[in-house]
Structure 1
Amino acid sequence: MTVAETFQALQSRFKPEGAAGLNKTFQFNITGEQAGSYAAKIENQTCQLIEGGVEKPDVVFTIKDTDWLDITAGKLDAMNAFMAGKVKLTGDMMLAMRLQGLFDLGR
């Protein structure tokens, strides 16, 4: 699976029950051979994927393409990747912590 394919599948992994009252935008800046930016706009318990990212996201994750693919395949735990420095975070740390409740990333 490619990075682009994982983001296309992200909407099907969205858990609307975890997004009650949340109107925020998460951005993923992917580095490496499959570099790109993708944003997930959460609004009214829906998720809209924006390829290319947005100008002012609420939180930004920067991660290497191979690590992102490992996280989405369930081979790498997202929290462990963050603690190991494989995921860089800019913006609202508390909001970032909610990500795992919004998406089923490791399947």
Structure 2
Amino acid sequence: MPDLSNIDDYADIAPAQFAALVKQTSDRELAQILSGPHRKTILDNIFTRMPEQFRPDRAGSTRAVIHWVIAGGADGPDTYEVRVADGKCETSLAPTVEDPDLAITIGPVEFVKVVSGNANPMMMFMTGKIKATNLPLAANVQNLFAVPKA
């Protein structure tokens, strides 16, 4: 299995394979990868795939604009937008709404660990590694997506 630092096309990696790669990579190595030239490609790919992982059966009447603020970028944090409405999920690689229903601020290592099923988001929130502006909505976000198992 390849490692995260020498993959040419992240779009070719299935979510379960990505989860396994994250699981086998140390936090130090993840931090190094996510501060280098692959950062944008990895983050863009995760957000581009979110609609595929969306679980409309669990969304119910949820209507929300969520901004994911990923700390540690070379030019400051990277912000991605996820919109959930009418049983659908859409993502934007740049925010289109100024005042989201929820803003989640998280470090890059913590983010890839959460979205790959390699970390408990509630524990990260309780230890201050995740910050959220709307706690009830934040608590439901994980239920809206099929999280891969490594």
TM-based fold match above 0.5: yes
TM-score normalised according to structure 2 size: 0.65
Q: Which moved more, 1:38-47 or 1:3-12?
A: 3-12
TM-score normalised by the chain length of structure 1: 0.88
Q: Which residue, out of 102, 106, 126, partners 1:59?
A: 102
- Match among 124, 127, 130 for residue 81 of structure 1: 124
Gaps of 5+ in 2: 1-9, 11-41
Q: Which amino acid is 1:9 matched to?
A: R
How far apart, in 1, do the equivalents of 2:148 and 2:103 lie?
19
* C-alpha deviation, 1:96, in angstroms: 1.3
RMSD over aligned Cα atoms: 1.6
What's the offset of the Cα at 1:33? 3.4
Structure 1's consecutive aligned runs of 4 or more residues displaced over 4 angstroms after TM superposition are none
**Whose helix proportion is higher, 1 or 2?**
2
More strand by share: 1
Q: Which has the larger radius of gyration?
A: 2
Q: CA deviation digits over 1:6-53, x for unaligned, max 9?
A: 111111110001111111111100111374111111110000102212
1:106 deviation in Å?
4.5
Q: Give ranges in structure 1 of 5+ residues lacking alignment.
A: none
Q: Output the CA distance in 1 between the equivalents of 2:55 and 2:116.
A: 17
Identity of aligned residues (%): 25
Displacement after TM superposition at 1:84 (Å): 1.3
Counterpart check, 1:17 vs 2:57? yes
- Amino acid of the residue matched to residue 128 of structure 2? G
| Number of equivalenced pairs | 106
